[in-house]
Amino acid sequence: MTKCDTITQKRRHYFFLNPYQNAAFTKCPKCDSKTKIRKFPLVIHIDPQQLFLFNKQCRYCTRCDLIIAGKSELESLMATVFEKLNPQIIGNDYLVMGVAERSDWQESKKGKLSEGETIERMIVFKDVWNFEFIPAGWYRDHEH
């Protein structure tokens, strides 16, 4: 038996699941610098007990170490995949837990990595952030 408290889980990156379909976040919502497009092998846990790895194109701010993934994009991808694999879980709660190391992602694609190993080796997000998106436009000051 392995003791859970002896495993030091790697932690890296901040994560934002972007619920706004009309906001691409070409600029970082935190520091305002330009974000890059980069692929990350996201590790997603779907209730009740399904692990899903997907190498997804995300927005990434190098300065903040922030990964931004489109929520609706991700959900439609998962629906497509699980339509055949396991249609019952479509629509269930899910959590993007972190990312897999690139080498682990390759292994898991070949079916060489168990779910337990994937979780053990994955990089958990340091934190998950939320941002409110305010569309560009003219706004009146709130009158008090």
* Contacts with Zn ion, residue ranges (CB under 5 A): 28, 30-31, 61, 63-64
15 with 66: CB under 8 angstroms?
Answer: yes
For the chain, the straight-line distance linking the first and the last C-alpha, in angstroms and rounded, comes to 62
Q: How far is CA 51 from the centre of its chain?
A: 13
* Cβ proximity to Zn ion, 62 vs 76, nearer residue: 62
Task: Write down the least CB distance from residue 137 to Zn ion, Å.
Answer: 23
Report the residue number, 36 or 102, with the smaller CB distance to Zn ion.
Answer: 36
Nearer to Zn ion, 66 or 122 (CB): 66
Of 82, 26, 17, the closest CA to residue 56 belongs to 17
CB of 30 to Zn ion, least distance (A): 5
> Cβ 47 to Zn ion, closest distance in Å?
31
At closest approach, how far in Å is the CB of 36 from Zn ion?
Answer: 11
What b-and-e string marks burial along 3-34, b requiring 16 or more CB atoms within 10 Å of the CB?
A: eeeeeeeeeebbbbbbeeeeeebeebbeeeee
Beta carbon nearer to Zn ion, 30 or 45:
30
